Amino acid sequence: MKKKIPRATDLGGDAGGEPNPAQSPGSAADAVPDHVQIQTITGCNGACIFCPNGKTRRKIPLGQRMAPDLFHSIVDQCLELGIRRYSVYLMNEPMLDQDLPRRVAYISTRIQKPQYVKVTSHGGLLTESMAKGLLDAGLDKLKISVQSLNPETYRNIMGLRLDRTLQNIDRFLEIKQRGGYKLPRMEIVMVDSVQTRDEIADIRRYWHQRGIKLYVEPVENRADQAGIRKTAVGAEKLRAFSWCRRLMEQIYILYDGRMVQCCADWEQQSIMGDLRTERLADVWYGPRYRQYRRRFAAGDVHGMICEDCRKQRPQHKKSLREEVPKVR
């Protein structure tokens, strides 16, 4: 019988939060998974300067889709494991997958609170039909990455058109309101970079007026990804992760069923298992994962991709999350 340990979420930790005193190396090895990210299609049509997409040394095939049977088997195994958060994206733009609403529906019809299903996207492909599909599919949370409200800065950072994204968001909110849908809750996310820090107050006001919560995330070097060393410039100095929920409680599955250590592993250097031939529980509680978690908790990361992984330290919790009175 595995010993149940507190999840980092219970303790208010985050991906790069402070050391978690409840987790000794031994108990970290037994950590219980809480989140899953599933890549149902590869690639992204954006070009964010802080994202390794299109800049990896390893050639990543574009437009490769996860087979429905594999997807269903993964979700079923996650349900058995008691996973709470289902994120239908990983190192990609999930709306490239026309089957996204069907995938979301497969999850939403099988979970119950506090479980939820979430999509994070750049919003440029949030067409009318995708919007209706996701609303009908029972999506719980839709997070859109909007890095600036200045069209030129936005294009320079993301390689996309701001007017199109904002129109997509407005249309989505309109369809949602007209159809009387309660969910998904929409959130906006941006990165606190040298390019955007001065705009954050105005951007926050803009979304606040629409009753939408803005999240400001720290810049990361994605396990020291060479392609973004010069462009992912934080507004503050980047520091080593003192604790990492990604390793301790999150599962990351590529389109072909392979499991990577975390969403920073764009070069696929740290493959933890392969769900075409292995069971998810066997991989998560298997010797490799257990050893990695134990070593991270002991501060022994030499040779792991964590060794050079850095992120900007959030200034304080309030600067990351702003409570707004009414959320659509």
Q: Which stretch binds ligand SF4 (CB under 6 A): 153-161, 200-208, 230-238, 305-313?
A: 305-313
- Cβ closest to ligand SF4, residue 262 vs residue 297: 262
Report if residue 254 touches ligand SF4, rule: CB under 6 A.
Answer: no
Report if residue 41 touches ligand SF4, rule: CB under 6 A.
Answer: no
What's the rounded Cα separation, in Å, for the pair 222 and 267? Answer: 10
In the complex, minimum distance from the CB of residue 103 to ligand SF4, in angstroms, rounded to a whole number: 25
Identified binder of ligand SF4 from the candidate list 35, 139, 309, 312, rule CB under 6 A: 309
Check whether the bond before 325 is cis (ω within 30° of 0): no
Helix (H) or strand (E) holding 274: strand 271-274
Report if residue 96 touches ligand SF4, rule: CB under 6 A.
Answer: no
In the complex, minimum distance from the CB of residue 186 to ligand SF4, in angstroms, rounded to a whole number: 26
SS3 for 188-244 is EEEEEECCCHHHHHHHHHHHHHCCCEEEEEECECCCCCHHHCCCCCECCCEEECCCC
Burial group, residue 299, by CB count within 10 angstroms (0-12, 13-18, 19+): exposed
What's the rounded Cα separation, in Å, for the pair 191 and 199? Answer: 11
Q: Which stretch binds ligand SF4 (CB under 6 A): 3-11, 77-85, 210-218, 244-252?
A: 244-252
What's the rounded Cα separation, in Å, for the pair 316 and 322? Answer: 11
In the complex, minimum distance from the CB of residue 48 to ligand SF4, in angstroms, rounded to a whole number: 17
What's the rounded Cα separation, in Å, for the pair 140 and 126? Answer: 16
Identified binder of ligand SF4 from the candidate list 253, 305, 312, 314, rule CB under 6 A: 305
Report if residue 219 touches ligand SF4, rule: CB under 6 A.
Answer: no
- Cβ closest to ligand SF4, residue 118 vs residue 246: 246
Total number of residues shown for the chain = 328
Which residue is listed with tokens 């997807």? Answer: 71
- Cβ closest to ligand SF4, residue 103 vs residue 311: 311
What's the rounded Cα separation, in Å, for the pair 138 and 142? Answer: 11
Identified binder of ligand SF4 from the candidate list 86, 89, 241, 284, rule CB under 6 A: 241
List the x/- string, 258-287, binding to ligand SF4 by CB under 6 A. Answer: ---xx-x-----------------------
Identified binder of ligand SF4 from the candidate list 70, 74, 223, 254, rule CB under 6 A: 223
Total site size for ligand SF4, rule CB under 6 A: 11
Report if residue 247 touches ligand SF4, rule: CB under 6 A.
Answer: yes
In the complex, minimum distance from the CB of residue 85 to ligand SF4, in angstroms, rounded to a whole number: 17
In the complex, minimum distance from the CB of residue 276 to ligand SF4, in angstroms, rounded to a whole number: 23
Report if residue 253 touches ligand SF4, rule: CB under 6 A.
Answer: no
What's the rounded Cα separation, in Å, for the pair 311 and 324? Answer: 27
**CA angle 155-38-158, nearest 5°?**
5
Structure tokens at 76: 């079923």
User: Comparing C-alpha atoms, which of 87, 178, 169, 184 is closest to residue 128?
Assistant: 169
Q: Where do contacts with ligand SF4 occur on this chain (CB under 6 A)?
A: 223, 241, 244, 246-247, 261-262, 264, 305-306, 309
